A and B are shown apart, each in its own frame.
Chain A
Amino acid sequence: MSSSINTASTNHRLAVWVLSMAVTALSLTAVVRAQDVTLHAPSNAVAGSAAKIESTGSGSATFYLLGPSIAVKRDVQLGQEIALAPKEVQSAGRYVAIVCAGSCTNADFFVAPAKPVSLVFLVHPSRAPVAKSGLISGVAIPFDEYRNMVLTPSSVDFQLSAKSGAPVSHNVETRDGAAWFRISSGKSAGPLEITASLNDVVARRVVQQVASDPCHLRIKGERTPQGIEVETDPVRDCDGNPVPDGTIITFTAKGGGETSTVDAPVKKDVARARMTAKGPVVISAASGVVMGNELHLGGQ
Chain B
Amino acid sequence: MKRGLPIVLIVLVVTVVLIVLGLTVAGPSSSGTVGLVRGSALPGFSPNANTPEQALSNFLLDVQKRNWDRAFGSLERTSQALTEKQFEQEWTGANGGLRSFSTLEYYDARPLHATDSDAQMRVRLHWSTPVGPVEDVRDFHMAKRGDQWKVVWNEAPRPNVPAEVVPVNYLRWDLVTGSASGSEWGAHNVDAPRVRILSMNAVDTAEGAVVMGEVVNEDTIPAFVNVNATLVDAAGNVIDDETSFDKILHVLLPKQVSPYRIDFPKISLSKVKNVRIDTKATLVPASSDPVIGVMNQKLDEDAQGHAVLHGDLLNQSGEIVNIPHVIVSFYDNNGKVVWVSDGYVEQALLPQSSEPFAVELPKSLAGKVQNFHVVVNQYSLDKS
B residues 207-261 touching A (CB-CB < 8 Å): 216-222, 253-257
Q: Whose C-beta in chain A lies nearest to the C-beta of B371? A: A259
A250 to B291, CA, bound (A): 11
Q: Which residues of B contact A273 (CB under 8 A)?
A: 291, 293, 316
The answer on a CB contact under 8 Å between B296 and A276 is: yes
The answer on a CB contact under 8 Å between A257 and B298 is: yes
Segment of A29-37, A45-53, A162-170, A239-247 engaged in the interface with chain B: A239-247
Interface flags, B259-288, vs A, CB<8A=1, else 0: 000000000000000000000000000001
Number of A positions contacting B (CB below 8 A): 40
Q: Which residues of B contact A120 (CB under 8 A)?
A: 184-186
Q: Which of A205, A249, A250, A261 has the most CB of B within 10 A?
A: A261
Q: Which of B186, B219, B294 has the most CB of A within 10 A?
A: B186
The answer on a CB contact under 8 Å between B296 and A260 is: yes
Contact of A262 among B173, B253, B294 (CB under 8 A): B294
B25 located at the interface, meaning its Cβ lies under 8 Å from any Cβ of chain A in the complex: no
Q: Whose C-beta in chain A lies nearest to the C-beta of B190? A: A126
Segment of A87-95, A106-114, A263-271 engaged in the interface with chain B: A263-271
A174, chain B: closest CB distance, angstroms: 16
Q: Which residues of A contact B375 (CB under 8 A)?
A: 263
Contact A244:B191 (CB < 8 A) given known A259-B297, A276-B314: no
B372, chain A: closest CB distance, angstroms: 8
A203 to B207, CA, bound (A): 57
The answer on a CB contact under 8 Å between A124 and B374 is: no
Interface flags, A257-289, vs B, CB<8A=1, else 0: 111111111010000011111000000000111
A180 located at the interface, meaning its Cβ lies under 8 Å from any Cβ of chain B in the complex: no
Q: Whose C-beta in chain A lies nearest to the C-beta of B218? A: A288
A120 to B187, CA, bound (A): 9
Q: Which residues of B contact A63 (CB under 8 A)?
A: none
B295 located at the interface, meaning its Cβ lies under 8 Å from any Cβ of chain A in the complex: yes
A residues 210-250 touching B (CB-CB < 8 Å): 210-211, 213-214, 243-250
Contact of B288 among A124, A246, A258 (CB under 8 A): A246
Contact of B186 among A121, A214, A244, A246 (CB under 8 A): A121
Q: Which residues of B contact A246 (CB under 8 A)?
A: 171, 173, 220, 222, 253-254, 288
The answer on a CB contact under 8 Å between B216 and A275 is: no
A127 located at the interface, meaning its Cβ lies under 8 Å from any Cβ of chain B in the complex: yes
The answer on a CB contact under 8 Å between B373 and A261 is: yes
Interface flags, B313-329, vs A, CB<8A=1, else 0: 01010000000000000
A68 located at the interface, meaning its Cβ lies under 8 Å from any Cβ of chain B in the complex: no
The answer on a CB contact under 8 Å between B254 and A127 is: no
Q: Whose C-beta in chain A lies nearest to the C-beta of B256? A: A248
B333 located at the interface, meaning its Cβ lies under 8 Å from any Cβ of chain A in the complex: no
Contact of B198 among A123, A244, A289, A290 (CB under 8 A): A289
List, sorted by A's number, 25 A–B pairs whose CB atoms are closer than 8 Å: A122-B189, A124-B189, A126-B189, A126-B191, A127-B191, A213-B218, A243-B255, A245-B171, A246-B220, A250-B257, A258-B298, A258-B311, A260-B294, A260-B296, A261-B293, A265-B288, A273-B291, A273-B316, A275-B293, A275-B295, A276-B295, A288-B216, A288-B218, A288-B256, A288-B257
Q: Give me 12 other A-B pairs in contact (C-beta within 8 A), A123-B189, A126-B190, A246-B171 excluded.
A: A125-B191, A126-B191, A127-B191, A243-B254, A248-B253, A248-B255, A257-B298, A258-B297, A262-B291, A262-B294, A267-B171, A290-B255
